[in-house]
Amino acid sequence: MESNAMNASTISTTFPAVTEKKRANLWSGVTNTMRRQSAWLTVVLMSVTVLGIGWLDYVTGFQVTLLVFYGVPIFLAVWWAGSKPGMLIALLSGVVWWLANMSTTRHSPQSYAWTLANRLFYQCALVFAVAALRNKHQTDAARIQLLEERRQLEKDIVSVSEHEQQRIGQDLHDGICQQLAAIGCAVRVLADDLQAQGIQSAQDASLIEASLQQVVLEARNLARGIFPVHVDRSGLAAALEDLGKMMSRLTGIPIVVKDCVDVPQDAPEVSMHLYRIAQEAVSNAVKHSGATEITVSTRMTGDWLELSVEDNGRGMPAVPDTSDEGMGLRTMHYRAQMLQATLTIKPRPQVGTRVMCRMQFKQLKHSNDHEEK
């Protein structure tokens, strides 16, 4: 019974919202269609409407006022065609009202004319008010479209950059790394031949092979940094583990990755954005904080996924210079916006800095629940 009551309550609260959205879409569609047509079509339709209202006004007599109904075609004429057609419909409404009530009015001609003047004044004021509202609506729509185009452009730029990084990383891993490995094998064979012949240069060849192996290792680490294959294959947790090991090996700073939950593999874009945020945060901590330890973690709190990167460095300045914010920080904030997440960068209570990205992700919780079962 309680479940049925909750379902009924959910339907009752959701249905009006859906209906309201459909009405808004219908009104927007009709408005866009009419604005694409000739203004004379709107004038003709509204003129017919005014004549119909005038006939009702004639039938009901002077005692019943239809002023509100005359405002409807005036509003539609301005909203669809502009202020000039709206003014024309306002004048037509005044003439129709004059003719419809002339035979039933008990006022003197002067009083009747004064009433008409008042009606025309209010109708003209309605025209100017609706015209101002129309202009504001168009300005807001243009601003929203500009913001949407800008956001789409930023999204395309990030997407192109991501694809280029993946391409370069893949080419580096499959091309240069493989060639260097092949050269290393050839040098190993050469070193064995020289050693078998008792030539002293065999030791030099062995040193060259060891240098090539080191170069191959560094090139592969670089390729993994540019194109983190584990994000798509093994998940976010494995990619962060690999990031911590690689950065620790390259910088000598201990980078601890702990308490990491995984993101379902059907959401690779979420994993990639979170990985890039963590990568940039770790890089900033290594370059600027002077930290001796960096900790990376992800955890679930209710329906919220939290990515945290903490260091024990010198911390943030007391008065941060927001004008000197680099491209890396702006990219981190933009990636957080793409995930509809919040990104905060603030000092830790004791020492150092904490970078936290927090997003709502119900699907992750459901996935973890199924795994536990």
pLDDT in tens, 39-59: 999 999 999 999 999 999 888
Report the percent of the chain where pLDDT is more than 90.
21
Confidence grade of residue 170 (pLDDT, cut at 50, 70, 90): low
Residue 298, Ramachandran bin (φ over 0: left; ψ between -120 and 50: alpha; else beta): beta
Each residue's pLDDT tens digit, 317-353: 554 444 445 677 888 888 888 888 899 998 888 888 9
What CATH number should be reported for the domain whose range is 235-373?
Answer: 3.30.565.10
Range in 22-26, 87-91, 156-160 with the lowest mean pLDDT? 156-160
Residue 67: is its pLDDT beyond 50?
yes
Q: Are the C-beta atoms of 140 and 115 separated by less than 8 Å?
A: no
The answer to whether 39 and 85 have CB atoms below 8 angstroms apart is: yes
Tell me the β-bridge partners of 296: 257, 309
What is the average pLDDT value for the chain, to the nearest integer?
Answer: 79
Would you say residue 212 has pLDDT above 80?
A: no
β-pairing verdict for 294-301 and 255-258 = parallel
Encoded tokens for 293: 């330890």
pLDDT grade for 225, boundaries at 50, 70 and 90: low
In total, the chain counts a number of residues equal to 373
Collect all residues with Cβ–Cβ distance below 8 Å to 144 and sequence separation of at least 6: none
User: Worst-scoring range by mean pLDDT, 52-56, 278-282, 347-351, 362-366?
Assistant: 362-366
Name the most confidently modeled range: 133-142, 249-258, 312-321: 133-142
Question: DSSP letters along 42-88, please?
Answer: HHHHHHHHHHHHHHHHHHH-TTS--HHHHHHHHHHHHHHH-HHHHHH
**Mean of the pLDDT values across residues 268-286?**
85
Kindly tell me if the per-residue pLDDT of 86 is higher than 80: yes
CATH 3.30.565.10 boundaries in the chain: 235-373
